[in-house]
Amino acid sequence: MPLLLGHRGSPREHTENTLASFQAALDAGLDGIELDVRRLADGTLAVHHDAALPDGRQLPHLTRAELPERVPTLPEVLAWAVDCEAYVNLELKWESPLPDDRVVRMLDSIRVHGLSRRVIVSSFNPLLLRAARELAPEVERGLLYHRPYRLGPLNLPEAVGRWVDCAALHPQHQLIDAPLISMARRRGWRVNAWTVNEVADVQRLAALGVDGLIGDVPAHLLPAR
């Protein structure tokens, strides 16, 4: 039975990446949530998808004191996850090509909250995942990608997944087919699909045997069970 995660919570009911949105996903019957992690100027890790707030202020230029109340910090969300026993997929946004202190700050917060076995860290940036592997090999990693990546006969997601020692591939759902599932099984990897919002896609992916479904509409994910 696949793991069911709310994409930034339940964003069609509440503002995405807020505690209200996360709680709504759990209340609807999902197993957990997917969220986005960004760094503020003072090192605070904020849960927000875009690099800027709706009013145009850039998150990398703000401090915790300047953050709107509706935007939670990562420790606040992880404390909530502990209380609710929620599974959490943390996506580190691609803010720079090279790893920075976001990685160690995120991993420290995961450890402080005792969630090393109930989270997966995902990113489109394999360098961040490789850094996470070196710092906390016990915290699982998922490689995000949104299109086929090939170099001649080389399947790049497979090669990069081995390099970062991932536990899962996180492809955009339309990329998932039986050969991809077969390759992942050979490597011992799970396959978590995003962003799955149509019931027909949920049914197709469940039939293929995906391990996780991430979507905006909890009611559309639940038939996978």
Instruction: Select the more confidently predicted residue: 100 or 216.
Output: 216
Q: Which pLDDT band, with edges at 50, 70 and 90, does 222 fall under?
A: very high
Residue 99 makes CB contacts below 8 A (sequence gap 6+) with 127, 128, 130, 131
pLDDT tens across 50-104, in order?
A: 999 999 999 999 999 999 999 999 999 999 999 999 999 999 998 877 888 999 9
pLDDT value, residue 161: 98
C-alpha closest to that of 90 among 170, 205, 190 = 170
| Sign of the dihedral through C-alpha 21, 171, 142, 184 | positive
Instruction: Please write down the long-range contacts of 189-193, taking CB distance under 8 Å and 24 or more positions apart.
Output: 189/161, 192/3, 192/5, 192/89, 192/120, 192/142, 192/168
Question: Could you give the CA distance from residue 50 to residue 93 in angstroms, rounded to a whole number?
Answer: 9
User: Which tokens in the block code for residue 54?
Assistant: 């709706």
DSSP reduced 3-state for 3: strand
Question: Could you give the CA distance from residue 132 to residue 110 in angstroms, rounded to a whole number?
Answer: 12
Domain ranges of the chain: 3-224
Q: What is the pTM of this model?
A: 0.96
Question: What superfamily would CATH give domain 3-224?
Answer: Phosphatidylinositol (PI) phosphodiesterase (3.20.20.190)
Q: Are 121 and 90 contacting, i.e. CB atoms less than 8 angstroms apart? A: yes
Residue 221 makes CB contacts below 8 A (sequence gap 6+) with 4, 30, 196, 202, 213, 215
Where do the DSSP E strands lie in 18-64? 32-39, 45-47
pLDDT tens across 173-206, in order?
A: 999 999 999 999 999 999 999 999 999 999 999 9
Side-chain-side CA neighbours of 200 within 13 Å: the count stands at: 1
- DSSP designation for 93: P
pLDDT value, residue 97: 78
C-alpha closest to that of 145 among 206, 103, 191 = 191
pLDDT value, residue 74: 98
pLDDT tens across 147-181, in order?
A: 998 888 889 999 999 999 999 999 999 999 999 99
What does the mean pLDDT of the chain come to?
Answer: 97
